[in-house]
């Protein structure tokens, strides 16, 4: 059985690319990205989808409230018979209807060691705070902001000569490793959620 994946994006789509590549290389088996949905018409992620023969859908949020917009997303998810929803640089909050419908079936990648530095510009927040260790997190999405149960985290050092850009690049490199890893665990049915704890079964 193939796990049908939909990905929500807003921009560049390098994490989307990491997932697509992991499937094409056979690192993630029995899964397919069937549709990529963007709230931005010019998101490069839509082009990436097209290059791999994946349906690319732009849904314009203009003039719609969150509930209406989310219902449009839900329609697309249903049309593609989606099993797993991935947020990959999707810069909007999801409403409770989608979260309720896909409980424990929505993953997000965040460029900080949660629960530190939630929200936008997490790498900048960490850099300006002066942390010595930064990193990234893959977590399930719940109703809060970057608050769902944590699946995988990866640390990177913050070095004295770093700039925010250098740190961001070091974190991104790890994002491209842990996001496919988390998707693989999900697809293999190895993630068990107990309250806030996610157990990765052997
Ligand atoms: C990544 O840093 C991700 O962690 C954050 O937004 C950025 C998206 O980058 N949520 P990309 O579109 O995957 O290249």
ω into 170 cis (within 30 of 0): no
Distance 13 CA to ligand 1 centre (A): 7
Question: For a pLDDT cut of 90, what percent of the chain falls above it?
Answer: 99
Q: Please tell me the residue having the least CA distance from ligand 1 atom 9.
A: 89
Closest atom, ligand 1, to C-alpha of 10? 12
Give residue 200's pLDDT band: very low, low, confident or very high (50, 70, 90). Answer: very high
pLDDT 10s digits, 34-93: 999 999 999 999 999 999 999 999 999 999 999 999 999 999 999 999 999 999 999 999
Ligand 1 pocket test target in 22, 38, 45, 111 with most atoms within 8 Å of CB: 111
pLDDT of residue 93: 93
Q: Which helix (H) or strand (E) holds 34?
A: strand 31-38
pLDDT of residue 74: 98
pLDDT of residue 75: 98
Residue-averaged pLDDT of the chain: 98
pLDDT 10s digits, 103-152: 999 999 999 999 999 999 999 999 999 999 999 999 999 999 999 999 99
Ligand 1 pocket test target in 38, 87, 170, 172 with most atoms within 8 Å of CB: 172
pLDDT 10s digits, 1-16: 999 999 999 999 999 9
Give residue 153's pLDDT band: very low, low, confident or very high (50, 70, 90). Answer: very high
Is residue 13 in contact with ligand 1, taking CB distance under 6 Å? yes
Which has the closest alpha carbon to 19: 42, 40, 3, 1? 3
Check 52, 110, 121, 176 and give the catalytic one: 110
Q: Is 110 a catalytic residue?
A: yes
Pairwise CA distance, residues 19 & 170, whole Å: 18
pLDDT of residue 42: 98
Closest atom, ligand 1, to C-alpha of 110? 4
Which of 73-89 are b and which e, b meaning 16 or more Cβ less than 10 Å from the residue's Cβ?
Answer: bbebbeebebbbbbbbb
Q: Please tell me the residue having the least CA distance from ligand 1 atom 1.
A: 89
pLDDT 10s digits, 164-195: 999 999 999 999 999 999 999 999 999 999 99
Pairwise CA distance, residues 107 & 37, whole Å: 15
Closest atom, ligand 1, to C-alpha of 108? 10
């Amino acid at each position: 059985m193939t796990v049908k994946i939909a990905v929500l994006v807003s921009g560049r789509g390098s994490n989307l690319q990491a997932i697509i590549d992991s499937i094409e290389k056979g690192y993630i088996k029995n899964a397919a990205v069937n549709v990529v949905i963007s709230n931005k018409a010019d998101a490069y992620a839509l082009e990436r989808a097209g290059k791999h023969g994946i349906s690319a859908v732009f849904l314009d949020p203009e003039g719609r409230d969150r509930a209406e917009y989310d219902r449009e997303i839900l329609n697309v998810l249903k049309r593609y018979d989606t099993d797993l929803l991935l947020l990959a640089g999707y810069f909007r909050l999801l409403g409770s209807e989608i979260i309720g419908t896909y409980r424990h079936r929505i993953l997000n990648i965040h460029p900080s060691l949660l629960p530190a530095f939630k929200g936008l510009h997490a790498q900048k927040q960490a850099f300006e705070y002066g942390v010595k260790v930064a990193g990234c997190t893959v977590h399930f999405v719940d109703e809060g902001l970057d608050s769902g149960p944590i699946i995988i985290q990866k640390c990177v050092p913050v070095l004295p000569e770093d700039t925010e850009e250098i740190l961001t690049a070091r974190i991104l490199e790890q994002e491209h490793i842990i996001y496919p890893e988390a998707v693989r665990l999900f697809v293999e049915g190895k993630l068990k959620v107990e309250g806030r704890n996610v157990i990765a079964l052997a």
